[in-house]
Amino acid sequence: MNYPNIPLYINGEFLDHTNRDVKEVFNPVNHECIGLMACASQADLDYALESSQQAFLSWKKTSPLTRSEILRTFAKLAREKAAEIGRNITLDQGKPLKEAIAEVTVCAEHAEWHAEECRRIYGRVIPPRNPNVQQLVVREPLGVCLAFSPWNFPFNQAIRKISAAIAAGCTIIVKGSGDTPSAVYAIAQLFHEAGLPKGVLNVIWGDSNFISDYMIKSPIIQKISFTGSTPVGKKLASQASLYMKPCTMELGGHAPVIVCDDADIDAAVEHLVGYKFRNAGQVCVSPTRFYVQEGIYKEFSEKVVLRAKQIKVGCGLDPASDMGPLAQARRVHAMQQIVEDAVNKGSKLLLGGNKISDKGNFFEPTVLGDLCNDTQFMNDEPFGPVIGLIPFDTIEHVLEEANRLPFGLASYAFTTSSKNAHQISYGLEAGMVSINHMGLALAETPFGGIKDSGFGSEGGIETFDGYLRTKFITQLN
């Protein structure tokens, strides 16, 4: 199948699995082992820490032009190799090849955004009370950062953290997901080829708990960035707080969608259904709770089901597939449980609801109707290809319902009324609100959540806030 074995990348060296613990990497289409991944020992972790610390001493002093040039070269190489990298992402993660390739090319934009923006990391001069005093505010890189990136967008979620850290003048150690490691390995290869000095980026693999317990407490680590589930995020943030280390936490969501009576129904269905089944719904900003106003509930539900029926499920390498398998067998069990619980509690199963065949992690595009708040679906993030439909009467009521959960990441609304749009935009408790389209996650826009969905933004001009510290300098002349 020609999938690479996955080495560690420490201090500019690729270190293979010889004399190290090994983890197998599986293809979610058929559960076949496609490659071997090297797991870091404690000595490897120490090597990564020392190398990052050493590299920081010189990297923090580099000109933004140097950092910018390396990021641009990375972007160029990523575009050139997107087809090959995308193929490996499809093999270990399962998403359709066109989505995997797009993930890589979009990341070239993220690298370029940071290449541009790092030239504008400004401080400021504060007018002094005494004319002989000069008061400056400068922003300095934090130091060695530790990042944990997830399996659902293995290239994208890692490059957002890496670009921000290295553009800011930090060094970074990344632990990618062992389920889908080819993407972070490819990132290491591209930066290596782009001439990133040794130790500025180190990549490690292995047992998550062992690595987080050992690394977070290290005095070398100055910042933790994590994308993943809320329970793991809370655990890592509490560990980091013991050592007073700042965090960026990009955690789970359960995005509400409010479709008002006055919405353009066909446009809403087209936007929402295509977006929902992207990456088989394993997306933290995936629309999940579809609140539909009573006057259009029946028509909207029927149209959603019709459109969802067109989603073709199959192997991601087949160009005809719109949706691949789920990334792991545990996600299939989670979907089965959610559907069974909803149906037992009186919800209508309008489409799908079943595992497809015993081979691979395939699950049907699923639509549930008339969901009640006591179902698992309405409380836990589904993180899979399931739409839940709920009727609502007034905007006031639906805002209460949408805000009922502790999550606050993405949210969506469809309406042609600017009054509704205004009320909904300001009424939703979410880090991001998208009205009448799916407009999130661009390089130049901030991406992040509130409440249990985490804190800190990635992307936009906010991107550097998590990687810089503010220093005030006052001088009497």
Question: Interface with ligand NAD by CB under 6 A: which range of 22-30, 32-40, 79-87, 144-152?
Answer: 144-152
Residue closer to ligand NAD (CB basis): 148 or 464: 148
Angle made by CA atoms 284, 288, 290, in degrees to the nearest 5: 150
Number of residues that bind ligand NAD (CB under 6 A): 21
- The answer to the question of residue 296 lying near ligand NAD (CB under 6 A) is no
**Nearest distance in Å: CB 381, ligand NAD:** 5
* Out of 232, 259, 368, 430, the residue judged to bind ligand NAD by CB under 6 A: 232
Q: Which of 26, 47, 59, 148 binds ligand NAD (CB under 6 A)?
A: 148
**Which range of residues in 12-20, 53-61, 249-257, 314-322 is near ligand NAD by CB under 6 A?**
249-257
Active-site residue among 39, 118, 260, 284? 284
**Binder of ligand NAD out of 29, 38, 39, 251 (CB under 6 A):** 251
Among 30, 42, 58, 209, binds ligand NAD (CB under 6 A): 209
Q: Beta-carbon neighbour count of residue 180 at 10 Å?
A: 27
Q: Minimum distance from CB of 313 to ligand NAD (Å)?
A: 20
Where does residue 272 rank: exposed (0-12), middle (13-18), buried (19+ CB within 10 A)? buried
Considering only residues 150 to 189 of the shown chain, the ones binding ligand NAD according to CB under 6 A are 150-152, 177
250 noted as active-site residue: yes
- Binding to ligand NAD by residue 229, rule CB under 6 A? yes
Please, which of residues 368-387 interact with ligand NAD by CB under 6 A? 381, 383
Binding-residue pattern over the window 455 to 474 for ligand NAD, x denoting contact by CB under 6 A: --------------------
Of 149 and 301, CB closest to ligand NAD? 149
Nearer to ligand NAD, 178 or 427 (CB): 178
> Measured from the CB of residue 213, what is the shortest distance to ligand NAD in angstroms?
7
To the nearest whole angstrom, how small is the minimum distance from the Cβ of residue 48 to ligand NAD? 15
Distance of CA 187 to the CA centre of its chain: 16
Residue 51 tokens read as 């190398």
- Closest approach of ligand NAD to the CB of residue 146, in Å: 9
Active site residue 103: no
**Which of 54, 105, 134, 208 is close enough to bind ligand NAD by CB under 6 A?**
208
The 326-345 contact track toward ligand NAD, x by CB under 6 A, reads ----x---------------
Contact call for residue 212 and ligand NAD (CB under 6 A): yes
Rule CB under 6 A: which of 258-287 touch ligand NAD?
284
Catalytic residues: 250, 284
- The residues of the shown chain that bind ligand NAD, judged by CB under 6 A, are 148, 150-152, 177, 208-209, 212, 227-229, 231-232, 236, 250-252, 284, 330, 381, 383
